[in-house]
Chains A and B, each alone.
Chain A
């Protein structure tokens, strides 16, 4: 919905946005290079990969689950796509199959969690390892290169001066926003996270909802994998390692509750921006990458603590 469900206060809803504006303001004051059109597009392009993963993660977390396997899904699905392209398959077909494979990996997660009744943390921890292992088997541990030039358009191209990844990020946002806000499936996601038993007794197939959210997470991860592969012009066997953490951080920074039932996808986009802008700003300020991590972690902790104190 257009608001954080269950949190009625305006401050609560606007917290992440206020934080984002504050960070932008501070960075534009201390560095004149920050608020330039080229740097903004640069930031948005960096944000896009994480934002796409975080959208899917939002669906999962809204149901009270978690998906640790997204990083490995990125690697395996883009390895499939790149492998096919390198051996001469039509690019669009290869992309389609890559994305389909990622979606199916998500479906596997969902089936194990819903039907096997395995805790999401454990189930996706296991598949994270399995998918990474399969990537190494498939690529023999080596990057896949020699991708067609046209494929580079997806991650490196522009449409009306706007970088393609940003277009993908906004298009996916629009589609998922509509699904979450206007469809009965979206409503089921919130209801399931709020009270699984009441939802089930309302005649809703909760297993189906769960399988679908993990499939969406897999779909979004593989889409971001395709963009990443296009930008790097190669599929790396270690691609996406620990990407799940930035995605989870974006969701949480955006005000979605890890216990499910409360949150919004707008917040997730803002959360992803905050993380991306921090990275970019600290780079511009020549802060060493070692300290960057400390700052990033500190911001996440601070945001969550502020959120706690508002809820008493």
Chain B
């Protein structure tokens, strides 16, 4: 029997950077084949090539033995490939049947008038096939996320999909919905549909998949039969690279407790968070995307209402907004530089000065001289590469933009610096400078909370590591006894043993 899908020797580069290198992947009829790897391993790029969003640089993609020439999502659809995205692509104000047949409505002959009864009946047909008891005339916006996802799967079937890609399908589902989804997957298997299942959740993968393929750094690592492999083996495959001396961690004197969080919670995002950070300590927070790490950082910074207690230097503080967080000695460098860190229309000078205007002004008037001195000083200290401080911040490279964000916060003289993905999109040279800066800061007694998806970075720079999963802390490791494997297990919801 030929495979439903065979991908071989796939190469893909983006502006000179290799994202996929000689990757292979195959899928049989009626099989669930899990695709695993860390963030940035190349899973989504591979799937985008399959679905025609990206074109491959080299390699072959064969669907049922014939070379696929999918050059657009539309042609890939015609070849029977359907992707159920993490974010659902449904229009909430249209009904189930309208969504299912959007763009291919049943009409009365060649008139533009829709044959509603036929469309309803067809929609019902596919819903029944999946054992779903839903009225095709109900609005999609009134369905639960799990139900919407099933409608999306029904839609894929209505387009005669033979290859179904499920990208983190359970991320937003409740336990019962997950069970329903798994039943549905079993049904589809018996119908001969092949499914590619992308997930970070180990247990689910072991429960539902037949085979598992692991990618790492854009390369194919291996494929295992689910019933003969183990979690440990997979984790090793996923994180197998060695940590080189990329992290210039220096020992600093760790002192008294600086920040303590007790029972912190935010509805639907964070649950019962307890931890502390000490003077001169770098606390790393690891976890997968959507684990609630950025939400935790923002909650500490007064974005949204929180329950629980926050203590700074032993004193209980109430943080109602960023202004109060700054007053309490906190600074937050967000992961989304353009969206939340910088005002890109403004100059380097204006961005650097923004949270510091109070100290640079007298009676509300900005002192031009103090501002210029402060800005020149920051640029020099942080080695920001600019022509002049009036330059628009959007014209800088990612690394230099990040230095501007860090610079604007350092001047507030924070006691606790929260860095959310401090080196994302930053080149190696600038990365090193950011690490050096972190070292200088902790030696001066600043406490740093560093959120990062790059495990080597977390392991290389942290004195202590917390791991989050689904809004909870699922592991805590001291510098000595953490490894990529133990962190990965805790981050995928497994038992931690730190």
Binding site for B on A (CB under 8 A): 5-6, 8, 182-185, 187-188, 190-191, 194-195, 197-205, 261-262
Q: Tell me which of B340, B344, B361 has the highest count of chain A C-beta atoms within 10 A of its own C-beta.
A: B340
Q: Are B366 and A183 in contact (CB under 8 A)?
A: yes
A182 lies within 8 A of B345 (CB): no
Interface members, chain B 322-357 (any A CB < 8 Å): 322-323, 325-326, 332, 334, 339-347, 350, 353-355, 357
Interface membership of B454, Cβ < 8 A: no
Shortest Cβ distance from A257 into B: residue? B345
In contact, B358 and A6 (Cβ under 8 angstroms): no
Choose from A183, A185, A187 the contact partner of B354 (Cβ within 8 Å). A187
Residues 112-171 (chain B) with a chain A CB within 8 angstroms: none
**Which B residues are closer than 8 A to A by beta carbons?**
301, 303, 321-323, 325-326, 332, 334, 339-347, 350, 353-355, 357-358, 360-361, 364-366, 368, 392, 408, 412
Q: Is the interface of A mostly helix, strand, loop or mixed?
A: helix
Give the complex CA separation of A262 and B360 in angstroms.
Answer: 23
Cβ–Cβ contact A191 & B364, under 8 A: no
**In this complex, what residue of A is CB-closest to B301?**
A201
Closest residue of chain A to B326 (Cβ to Cβ) is: A203
A194-B346 contact given A200-B322, A204-B354, CB 8 Å threshold: yes
Residues of A within 8 Å of B334, CB to CB, are: 201
B96 to chain A, nearest CB (A): 31
Q: Is the CB of A261 within 8 A of B345?
A: yes
CB distance from B337 to the nearest CB of A (A): 9
Chain A: CB-nearest residue to B325: A203
Contact of B392 among A8, A187, A188, A197 (CB under 8 A): A8
Chain A residues lying within 8 Å of B350, measured Cβ to Cβ, are 187, 190-191
Q: Does the CB pair B361–A183 fall under 8 Å?
A: yes
* Cβ A198 vs Cβ B357 within 8 A: no
Can you list 30 A-B pairs with a CB-CB distance of less than 8 A?
Answer: A5-B345, A5-B346, A5-B347, A6-B346, A6-B392, A182-B368, A183-B361, A184-B357, A184-B358, A184-B364, A184-B365, A187-B350, A188-B357, A190-B345, A190-B346, A191-B346, A195-B340, A195-B344, A198-B354, A200-B321, A200-B322, A201-B301, A201-B340, A201-B341, A203-B322, A203-B325, A204-B355, A205-B323, A261-B343, A262-B345
Q: Kindly state the separation between the CA atoms of A6 and B361 in the bound complex, as whole angstroms.
A: 23
Assuming the contacts A203-B326, A204-B323, A205-B323, asked whether A187 and B364 have C-beta atoms less than 8 A apart, the reply is: no
Q: How far is the CB of B56 from the nearest CB of chain A, in Å?
A: 32
Given contacts A191-B343, A198-B354, A202-B322, 20 further A-B contacts (CB under 8 A): A6-B345, A183-B361, A184-B360, A184-B365, A187-B354, A187-B366, A188-B357, A194-B343, A195-B340, A195-B344, A197-B340, A198-B340, A201-B303, A201-B340, A202-B354, A202-B355, A203-B325, A203-B412, A261-B345, A261-B346
Q: Which residues of B contact A182 (CB under 8 A)?
A: 365-366, 368
Residues of A within 8 A of B342 (CB): 195, 198
Which 10 A-B pairs give the minimum distances between C-beta atoms? A194-B343, A6-B345, A184-B357, A202-B355, A194-B345, A203-B326, A203-B323, A195-B343, A261-B345, A203-B322
CA distance A184 to B366 in the complex (A): 6
Residue from A187, A203, A204 with most neighbouring chain B CB atoms (10 Å): A203
A187 touches B344 (CB 8 A): no
Chain B residue nearest to A202 in the complex (CB): B355
Known interface pairs A187-B354, A194-B343; A201-B332 also in contact (CB < 8 Å): yes
Q: How far is the CA of A8 from the CA of B161 in the complex (A)?
A: 52
The minimal Cβ–Cβ distance linking B95 to chain A, given in whole angstroms, is 28
Q: Which of A8, A191, A202 has the most CB of B within 10 A?
A: A202
- Chain A residues near B347: list those with CB within 8 A: 5
Q: Which residues of A contact B343 (CB under 8 A)?
A: 190-191, 194-195, 198-199, 261
- CA separation between A6 and B334, bound complex, in Å? 23
A202 to B346, CA, bound (A): 14
Q: Compute how far the CA of A8 lies from the CA of B358 in the bound complex, rounded to whole angstroms.
A: 27
Question: Is there contact, CB below 8 Å, between B408 and A202?
Answer: yes
A203: chain B residues within 8 A (beta carbon): 321-323, 325-326, 355, 412
CB closest residue in chain B, given A205? B323
Closest Cβ of chain A to B346, distance in Å, is 6
Tell me the smallest distance from the CB of B409 to a CB of chain A, in Å. Answer: 9
User: Whole-angstrom distance between the alpha carbons of A188 and B332 in the complex?
Assistant: 19
In the complex, A199→B353 CA distance in Å? 11
Whole-angstrom distance between the alpha carbons of A287 and B133 in the complex? 71
In-complex Cβ contact of A197 among B339, B344, B364, B365 (8 A): B339
**Cβ contacts under 8 Å, A195 to chain B:** 339-340, 342-345
| A195 to B: closest C-beta gap in Å | 4
Which residues from chain A contact B353 at a C-beta distance below 8 Å? 187
Closest to B336 in A: A197
| A185 pairs with B364, CB closer than 8 A | yes
A190 to B321, CA, bound (A): 21
Cα–Cα, bound, A190→B357 (Å): 13
Cα of A261 to Cα of B301 in the assembled complex, Å: 25
- For residue B341, which residues in chain A have a CB less than 8 angstroms away from its CB? 198, 201
Of B321, B345, B347, B366, chain A has the most CB atoms within 10 Å of the CB of: B345
Instruction: Select from chain A the residue with minimum beta-carbon distance to B355.
Output: A202
Q: Please measure, in the bound complex, the distance between the C-alpha atom of A200 and the C-alpha atom of B347, giving whole angstroms.
A: 18
Task: Tell me how far the C-beta of B420 lies from the nearest C-beta in chain A, rounded to whole angstroms.
Answer: 11
Q: What residues of A have a CB within 8 angstroms of the CB of B323 in the complex?
A: 203-205
Known contacts A6-B392, A203-B355, A183 near B346 by CB under 8 Å: no
Give the distance to chain A from B326, nearest Cβ to Cβ, in Å. 4
Cα–Cα, bound, A200→B304 (Å): 12
A282 to B257, CA, bound (A): 75
On chain B, the residues within 8 Å of A5 by CB distance are 345-347
User: Could you tell me the distance in whole angstroms from the C-beta of A9 to the nearest C-beta in chain B?
Assistant: 12
A215 to B343, CA, bound (A): 24
CA distance A121 to B368 in the complex (A): 36
Complexed CA–CA distance, A6 and B392 (Å): 7
Question: Closest residue of chain A to B368, judged by CB?
Answer: A182
Q: Name the A residues within 8 Å of B344 (CB-CB).
A: 194-195
**Chain B residues whose CB sits within 8 angstroms of the CB of A204 once the complex forms:** 322-323, 354-355
Distance, CA A169 to CA B342, complexed state (A): 35
Across-interface contacts of A198 in B (CB, < 8 A): 339-343, 354
